[in-house]
Amino acid sequence: MASLEVICVDDDEFMLKAIGRLVRRLRPEWRFLLLDEPMRWEEIMADSDIEHPAIFISDLLMPKKRGDVLLNEVKMNLPESIRVLLTGDTTQGLPQKAHGYAHFVLPKPFTQDDFEHLFQCAERLHKMPFNAECRQKLGSLSGLPVLPHTVQELQSVIASPNCDMHLMAEVISHEPSLVARIFQIANSSYFGFRRHTDSLSEAVSRLGATLIETIAVSLLTQIPHHRVSPSQHKQVAERALRVGSIARLIAKEMSFARREQDKVFVASLLTSIGTLLVLEEGATFENIRTYLGLQDGYHDHHVAAAYLLILWGYDIDIGDMILSQSHIDFLSQDETVVYGSIVGLAYIIEKFKTEEQFRQIAKQLPNAVSDAVLALIPLLEIA
């Protein structure tokens, strides 16, 4: 496992020592620099053996320099670092205010789990195939989307020892657009349920915790500057749903198990997060793949989605699956690449209007995939 570097700034000496003890216990092989002088952080770092901190943590309320000011400096000078704000301010509005300069907002008092989650995200991000320039560009983005409170509540219910579907339904019931989308999917012929349901608890049970969380993330994620209009947001969400449904059908026709079918559906929906992020930076639907120039060989919206989802705690497999969409390879020995290829193929097929288009692409695919694509023609009611 890689040895990462971490800097932590807090003018409270006792708090700094407590953080030091915790992080050294969790990751003894990592290198840490603990600073109690926020005004001199650059000078002290230059004199240390820390060169490329993967994580930079700062307290918010310090008398000589506030944490928001300090982390904005870090964003300018060390954009590739994951920026973390420590604060005793537990109001719901703070994460929204902090999105421009911080990737994480951790509460004071913090828990071991808070830091373990942060470190796992940093480790996963370190494993992603992003070069240094790409990481700097990602860290310099004007404002990252914020996970809505409803999604955080859902994740809390899902993570509890007894994941209660009725509790999940209760959380969901406060978001009318989410309720409507869940009924739409739970009653969709793509999912193969023969009986229509108008019970939210039953709809939640049908889809399961992973799909419910994914639908909530893709539908409710808040974009900071609101450059993306509500109609654009809806357009992105609707297309992601169509692509996910097609990807799921392809996986089903290829005889993948329900779990694998759900994986490609999840990857399709979550790719939309990257689309929203790149649009928010000023791209159009036409140049979304190349607008930011993040990294050769990958589409910008795929890189942005993988980066953001791993910061939000998703497993590295979902990032790999999203990145694999632009390199369709059904002969790969890596199942993640195959899943990503299904999603990439579904994005191409979603635009098709004629049977001839299906037949042309089927000729370019291995037999099992070709057969699955041709089997979609009557299911999608293509002319």
What's 29's domain CATH number? 3.40.50.2300
Domain finish residue from 127, 161, 188: 127
Q: For residue 245, what are its two tokens?
A: 């449904």
Residue 213, in any domain of the structure? yes
**Are 187 and 48 contained in the same domain?**
no
Report H helices in the chain: 13-26, 41-47, 67-77, 93-98, 112-127, 132-139, 149-159, 165-172, 176-186, 200-220, 230-253, 258-280, 300-311, 316-323, 335-349, 355-362, 367-379
> pTM of the prediction?
0.90
What tens-digit pLDDT sequence spans the chain (383 residues)? 578 999 999 998 899 999 999 999 999 999 999 999 999 999 999 999 999 999 999 999 888 899 999 999 999 999 999 999 998 875 656 666 777 889 888 888 888 988 998 999 999 999 999 999 999 999 998 877 777 778 888 988 888 888 788 889 999 998 898 999 999 998 887 777 778 888 898 999 889 889 999 999 988 887 766 688 888 888 999 999 999 999 999 999 999 999 999 999 999 999 999 999 999 899 999 999 999 999 999 999 999 999 999 988 888 999 999 999 989 999 999 999 999 999 999 999 999 989 999 999 999 999 999 999 999 988 887 65
**Are 51 and 163 contained in the same domain?**
no
Which positions ≥6 away from 183 have C-beta within 8 Å? Answer: 197, 198, 200, 203
Residue 351, in any domain of the structure? yes
**Are 104 and 179 contained in the same domain?**
no
pLDDT at 225: 60
**Are 172 and 270 contained in the same domain?**
yes
Residue range(s) defining the domain that contains residue 82: 5-127
**Are 374 and 232 contained in the same domain?**
yes
Residue 223, in any domain of the structure? yes
Residue 99, in any domain of the structure? yes
* Helix (H) or strand (E) run with residue 31 in it: strand 31-35
> Taking the CB of residue 306, how many other CB atoms lie within 10 A of it?
30
Residue 134, in any domain of the structure? no
**Are 69 and 18 contained in the same domain?**
yes
pLDDT at 383: 54
Q: How many structural domains is the chain composed of? A: 2
Residue 139, in any domain of the structure? no
> Taking the CB of residue 25, how many other CB atoms lie within 10 A of it?
10
**Are 153 and 122 contained in the same domain?**
no
**Are 205 and 347 contained in the same domain?**
yes
**Are 112 and 171 contained in the same domain?**
no
C-alpha 330: how far from chain center: 24
**Are 94 and 205 contained in the same domain?**
no
Contact 188, 245 (CB under 8 A): yes
Which positions ≥6 away from 56 have C-beta within 8 Å? Answer: 6, 7, 8, 9, 71, 74, 78, 81, 82, 83, 84
Residue 199, in any domain of the structure? yes
**Are 365 and 268 contained in the same domain?**
yes
**Are 294 and 363 contained in the same domain?**
yes
Q: Which residues of 229-258 are buried (b: 16+ CB within 10 A; e: fewer)?
A: eeebbeebbebbbbbbbbbbbbbbbbebee
pLDDT at 94: 64
Domain finish residue from 61, 94, 127: 127
What's 263's domain CATH number? 1.10.3210.10
Residue 91, in any domain of the structure? yes
Domain finish residue from 95, 127, 159: 127
